[in-house]
Structure 1
Amino acid sequence: MKSSWYREPWAWLVFILPFTAVVAGITTYIIANTNPDSLVLGDYYKKGKSINLEVSKVKTAQKLGMRFALQLKDNQLVIKPTGIEKVFPLLNVTFFHPTLEEKDFYLALTPDGNGYFRHHFDEEVVGKWKLTLTSFEGDWKIQDTITLPQDNFIDLIPDPTKAQ
């Protein structure tokens, strides 16, 4: 007496394994196309040329002796020039989140009477950030990776190895 094919466990094993692979492949395809990675760049050549330009801006900041100290305490950001006699009319500050592009933000800060640049955040800013400081003219740049909040002042100095 012959039994039906669907009563044999080996038949199910032969069908289930390829079926599982097909379902996993379709699922992977759907996930990859509905959640594109915003950090991947399409034009690497242009990005490479812009990195060289950014390195020259950091080297300019080094030559000019640009140094700042940053503190973020109780949602109050304070950036003060250290060892610089020059007065800046405006400081461009950009915060880049390491993984989520929609969290990036930009501040244009003017100095107070002491020459400090201040900003009060309505919401708490926490975590790891890539911070970029540039002049109003954009002729120099300081870039560093910081963790916020910072109760004590941390130094921000130009370092060409951190320029990107």
Structure 2
Amino acid sequence: MKSRRATDSGPWYREPWPWLIMLGPAVVIVAGVATAYLAVISNDGLVADDYYKQGLAINQRSERHLRAAELGLEAELILGGDRDRIRVLLRAKEGTPLPATLSLRITHPTRPGFDQSVSMRSEGGGVYGAKLLPIHGRWHLVLEDEQQEWLLAGDWESDKQPALRLIPSARVLPADEKISVDKER
């Protein structure tokens, strides 16, 4: 006569332990597939296609900052209307002619779809104005002449600062902060 074991409970797939052991690798496989899917469909917005050219342009920008310093350029930017108009007051050393138009590039640090390029016409007396799409939050601004001989650049938190002052050293000052003026100017 055959003796039956007391631990024999049936086929393996009716036991919980094999399923618990297989659960870990199954979760890892599902997570890996989900991660791969997200990596393929998402946009790497901060990676520039022309990163090498941008790196080479750094020296040229430095030269243009130095040129702006030689000309004694300073700019004050003010938003108006419903944040859809901008005015620039451009000052230079005495005897330096001011350009008829300026180019203003407004770029968002992480969302390139909101970037704008605005051509600003002179209204006389160093004042330039233009319409733009309303801006809110943090922005990087580059102000330059039409021949691209000089530039002024800086960051602006438009919700916190009603105006922005740009100086050639690329250091940004709030509009209410005084700029020390050299005796040579």
Superposed, 1:74-113 pairs within 5 Å as 74=81, 75=83, 76-85=85-94, 86-113=97-124
Partner Cα distance (2:112, 2:63) in 1: 25
Q: CA deviation at 1:34?
A: 1.1
Q: Which has the higher contact order (CA 8 A, sep 6+)?
A: 1
> Aligned with 1:112: secondary structure?
strand
Q: Larger % of helix: which?
A: 1
Q: Which residue of 1 aligns with 2:12?
A: 5
Structure 2 match to 1:14: 21
Q: Which amino acid aligns with 2:111?
A: L
In 2 relative to 1, CA 113–155 (structure 1 residues): closer, same or farther, beyond 3 Å?
A: same
The Cα shift of 1:43 comes to 5.5
Aligned residues: 161
CA contact (8 A) 1:91 1:133 kept: yes
Structure 1 gap segments, 5+ residues each: none
TM-score, length-scaled by structure 2: 0.76
Structure-2 change in CA distance of 1:10 and 1:152 (3 Å) = same
CA RMSD of aligned residues (A): 2.3
> Conserved in 1, the CA contact under 8 Å of 2:77 and 2:87?
yes
What is the aligned partner in structure 2 of residue 127 from structure 1? 137
Deviations 1:80-139 (A, max 9, x none): 113445321110000011101111110011111343111234x53111000001110001
The aligned amino acid for 2:122 is P
Q: Matched residue of 1:99: which SS?
A: coil
Q: SS in structure 2 opposite 1:39?
A: coil
Where structure 2 has 5 or more consecutive residues not aligned to the other structure, the ranges are: 1-7, 173-185
Percent identity at matched positions? Answer: 28
Q: Tell me, in whole angstroms, the C-alpha distance in 1 between the residues paired with 2:103 and 2:51.
A: 26
> Which of 134, 147, 167 matches 1:137?
147
TM-score, with normalisation over the residues of structure 1?
0.85
Mapped to 1, the partners of 2:64 and 2:156 lie a distance apart of 20
